[in-house]
Amino acid sequence: MRRARWFLSLAVLLLLPTSGRTAAEGDTITIFHTNDLHAQFLPAPATWRDDRAPIGGFRALDEVLRRAREEAGSSIYLDAGDFMTGTPLSDLSHRGAEGGAIVEFYNGLDLDAMTIGNHEFDKPMANLRRLIGLAQFPILGANVTDSTGALVTGEAFRIFQVGGVRVGVIGITTEQLGTLVSDSSYEGLRISSGSETLRRIVPEIDKDTDLIVVLSHQGIELDRKMAEEVEGIDMIIGGHSHTRLDRGEKVNGVWIVQAGSKGYYLGRVDLVVKDDAVAGADVRLIPAWAEGAEGSPGVQALVASYEERILTEYGVVIAQASGRLGRCYYCESDLGNWITDGIRAVTGADVGLINSGTLRKDIMDGPVTKLDIQEMLPFSNYLCTFRCTGEELVAIAAHNARAEAEESHGILQVSGLEYGWRARDGQIDVPIVLVNGIPVDRAAMYTVATADYVAVAQPEKYLGIVPEDVALAGQTLTEAIMAHVEKSGRIDPPGADRIRRVEIDYAPPK
C-alpha cells in the first residue's frame, strides 16, 4: 500500500508545475517522528514516575501511532536514526541481517523515511547494506559516501506529497561519525559537512517543494547551529543527543523537534503550510504508555517471537546486586568503577579503563540477568591490553582530567589508577598519580586493559597517546564481564574517589 502511495506521489509531482506552487489558502498536515529507538522492542519502566509504569516498546509505539494517524488526516512519519544497538535484538539475524527485525517493525509502521545514525555502522558495512535492502522505505543520507563516492544509503533526499503539501525530506548524519565507530566500519567512508551539504541541496529542491524538512542525526547543538547557518530549511527533526523537546524550539525561524529516545514518546507536529512557509505549528510529544497496548497483529507476532527467543537466552538471573550502580558521563561513577575493576580482574592488568559512553544502562538493586548486562554493554567492542610507561600513564590521567574539566567528551572510568587534578592558569595539572595505591613510577612499565574502541579506534581522543602493540584478548568486553559476573554471582558497589579535584597545596598521603 505504501509503495502505491509513493508511486502516486511521484506521479503527482510530475504533473505539478516547477515554478514553486504554494498552498494559497494554507494546508494542514501532520508530521510524526521518532529517533534513537536503539532496539528497544519491549517496554521499560518509567523511572521518573513513582509507579514506574511501563513505557515504550514496539506494541505501544505501534498503537499510539495508529490512533494518532486516524485523527490526524494527511500525515507523514519520519525517523532520525540510531535504531541499532541497545538490546540483543540488534544482534539477532532476521532475513539475513542482524537487526533486521527492527527494520521489519518500521515496515509494519509504514515509516515514510529515515536518516542513518552512527549506530547503524556498529556492524560491518555488509550488514548495513542488508538492512537497507530490507527497508520498504528510503533511508536518506546526503553527506555520507563510500570509497567509490556513492551515497552509502543510495538516496540524499525524497519529496513526498502529503495532502496538498510537497514535503522535501533530506537526511544528514553526524560529521563526528569517524570518532564514534570503529576504524573497520569507517574505512573508506567520507563525511561531508551537514551545513555545506544542505546549502547545495536545499536550493536544488526548493522549487519543487512547499516544506523542507531535515532529518538530522547529529545532536541538538549542531542542529541549532545548522538552523543558523542554512537558509531555506523549515524544520529539523533531530536525533543523536536523545533530547526530549516537549514543545520543540525555534531557531532562526526554523522549528527543531526531537522525541527523546527508545520510543518512549512519539513526536507530533501539526503544521499549517502557506505560501511556501510554515504559517503555524503545534508541537508535542505523546507518551507511548505500554499498559494495555497490543499493537497490530503483525507487530504482536514479531514482538512475541523475539521476546521468547531473547528471554530464553538472556532472561536468566546470574547475580544479585547489593545496591544500585549508576553512570556519569563527565565524572567518576559507581558503575564505571565496577566495570573497570572487572576488566582488571579478567585480564590481570595493572590499570583498567573504559569510556563512559560504553555504559548504556544502570544496574539496579536486586536480581541481575544476562539481559541487564547485555543492555548495559551493548557494543561489540573487544577487550584488549597494551603496555605503557608511568610517564604515559600520567599523560593519560592529565588528558582525562582535561576532558572532565572542559566536558569535551565523556571521561574514562578507571581502576587501579587514582589521581588528583587541578586547574591552574588555564592548564590541567595532576600532582598525584597512584597505581594500586602506590605513587606512579614514571620509568616503570604498566599493563593497561580497555576496549579496542578506546585503544585502537579512538586513542587520541580518550588516551591522548597512541599505544603500540595492542593485544586483543579474544573476547568482547560484554562476554568478559558476563562471565565475570556469572562466576562471582554478586555485584557490590565499589570504592569511590579514584578521581579527585584537589587544591593547589594538596599533598599525597604518606
Cell of 297: 497483529
Instruction: In the chain, list all ranges with CATH 3.90.780.10.
Output: 317-501
Contact status, residue 144 vs residue 153, Cβ threshold 8 Å? yes
Q: What is the pTM of this model?
A: 0.79
Rounded to whole angstroms, the Cα distance separating 477 from 109 reads 34
Cell of 280: 503555524
Q: What is the pLDDT of residue 456?
A: 87
Domain covering 28-307, topology: Purple Acid Phosphatase; chain A, domain 2 (3.60.21)
Q: What is the pLDDT of residue 187?
A: 85
Cell of 267: 513526536
Q: What is the pLDDT of residue 12?
A: 37
Measured in Å, how far apart are the chain's first and last C-alpha atoms? 75
Rounded to whole angstroms, the Cα distance separating 174 from 219 reads 8
Lay out the sheet containing 249-251: strands in order across: 157-162, 165-173, 211-217, 235-239, 254-257, 249-251
Rounded to whole angstroms, the Cα distance separating 507 from 510 reads 9
Q: What is the pLDDT of residue 469?
A: 87
Cell of 404: 572532565
Residue 90 is given by DSSP the state G
Q: What is the pLDDT of residue 260?
A: 96
DSSP codes of every residue in 142-208: TTEE-TTS-BSSSBSEEEEEETTEEEEEEEEE-TTHHHHS-HHHHTT-EE--HHHHHHHHHHHHHTT
CATH architecture classification, 317-501: Alpha-Beta Complex (3.90)
Rounded to whole angstroms, the Cα distance separating 199 from 214 reads 12
Instruction: In the chain, list all ranges with CATH 3.60.21.10.
Output: 28-307
Long-range contacts of 8-17, Cβ-Cβ distance < 8 Å, separation of 24 or more = 8/161, 9/159, 9/160, 9/161, 12/161, 13/159, 13/161, 13/166, 13/208, 16/166, 16/208
What three-state secondary structure class fits 422? strand
| Span 67-88, pLDDT tens digits | 999 999 899 999 999 999 989 9
Q: What is the pLDDT of residue 504?
A: 53
Q: What is the pLDDT of residue 186?
A: 84
| Span 220-262, pLDDT tens digits | 999 999 999 999 999 999 999 999 999 999 999 999 999 999 9
Q: Tell me the average confidence (pLDDT) per consecutive run of 10 residues in the chain, 510 residues long.
A: 40 36 70 96 91 95 97 96 93 95 96 97 93 98 96 97 97 91 84 97 97 97 97 97 96 98 97 94 97 93 92 92 96 98 97 96 95 91 95 97 94 98 88 96 97 91 93 90 96 94 58
Closest CA to 234 of 204, 284, 272, 196: 272
Q: What is the pLDDT of residue 213?
A: 98
Beta bridge partners of 476: 382
Strands 412-415 and 351-355: antiparallel
| Span 141-153, pLDDT tens digits | 999 999 999 999 9
Rounded to whole angstroms, the Cα distance separating 52 from 47 reads 5
